[in-house]
Chains A and B, each alone.
Chain A
């Protein structure tokens, strides 16, 4: 039998489907470690164009101003609120800065947290300070659209 030496065979095995979640911050950190941030030409760093797109997205999200320490701090400090892993991850990735932003992230928000929702939002804002790249809600815009609707 003659084996062809042309294209590589696609023989892939899944060893462990889910080795664990990565927060947006970790993915961003990984891309930064490959040099995504430092190369304005985008051809020198060993980062693929599709990876640059992910980088661009993440850099405009809450992850851009986060650090490993701030995430660890948040995880520790939010224990009293008894949030699920996915709720914590969502909060870290989205960084809600108001009641309405946090409401869709947490099941049965009122019955579980009651009065302390504001406290939790405060905690989020305190541990993850906003960066200049994150846009803020524009009050004028919101009034206009309200009228149209």
Chain B
């Protein structure tokens, strides 16, 4: 629990440099993969791209973020076939579009679930990540802490909040509780200078999203 904006801003300042400046960013990776023989009829680029997409898209890479897309392929080397194998091995350099909000960023999200203890609510973020994945790795869960009074948050309202922290918890060996495991947690807060102190300004605007008519975006 924390209160004023000074704390937020102190931490958010030093983290800007570390995390880059947008929720989406590019990362360059190198990966060695095998292409199964049934893919040999495809052009190499396509086969490799397909493999990379299957491996990375919609999965969280620890400490980097959630992979949205394979942005481009820089080089494909190799093509050797090792003894006893039918598949050929390639070393690929490529870039991925990753999603990882930076501390201090303001994000819009949709309220999907709420835990009714008034202090903590579970937010499923924007529709891009609305559905939980049965495969552990694809899911992102957002936890929203707020320490003011109860706000009337309804159904599918859209909320804007400031990212406080992004965590990549370790994959647990066993499933501890009923909640699915979230490989990336984004903790946000509504408390900051103007949002906290001036409720009148808040009410008139789009900052406090129920007034945005979030329902126009439809139910998901």
Contact = CB atoms under 8 A, between A and B. Distances in A.
Given A19-B28, A27-B68, A100 B152 contact: no
B167 interface: no
A100 B194 contact: yes
9 contacts: A9-B34, A15-B30, A24-B24, A30-B97, A53-B130, A89-B21, A89-B22, A90-B106, A94-B108
A3 B82 contact: yes
Contact of B86 (A5, A15, A23, A90): A5
Interface in B125-150: 126-131, 138, 149
A53 B128 CA distance: 4
B127 A5 contact: no
B: contact size bracket:
35 or more
Interface string A126-138: 0000000001111
B26 A98 contact: no
Q: Which of B21, B36, B102, B108 has the most CB of A within 10 A?
A: B21
Given A2-B84, A5-B36, 13 more contacts: A9-B33, A15-B29, A18-B27, A19-B95, A21-B25, A53-B131, A86-B16, A86-B104, A100-B205, A104-B162, A107-B9, A135-B214, A142-B203
B24 A22 contact: yes
B204 A100 contact: yes
B166 to A, nearest CB: 14
B33 to A, nearest CB: 5
Among B64, B127, B195, max chain A CB count under 10 A is at: B127
Contact of B22 (A21, A57, A141): A21
A104 B203 contact: no
A8 B50 CA distance: 13
A107 to B, nearest CB: 6
Given A19-B25, A104-B106, A149-B152, A142 B204 contact: yes
B165 interface: no
A5 B20 CA distance: 39
Given A3-B83, A136-B213, A142-B211, A149 B25 contact: no
A15 B28 contact: yes
Contacts of A22: 22, 24-26, 97
A10 B19 CA distance: 25
A31 B97 CA distance: 11
Contacts of B87: 5
Contact of B31 (A13, A27, A53, A139): A13
A79 interface: no
Contacts of A97: 206
A67 interface: no
A17 interface: yes
Given A18-B20, A145-B203, A57 B26 contact: no
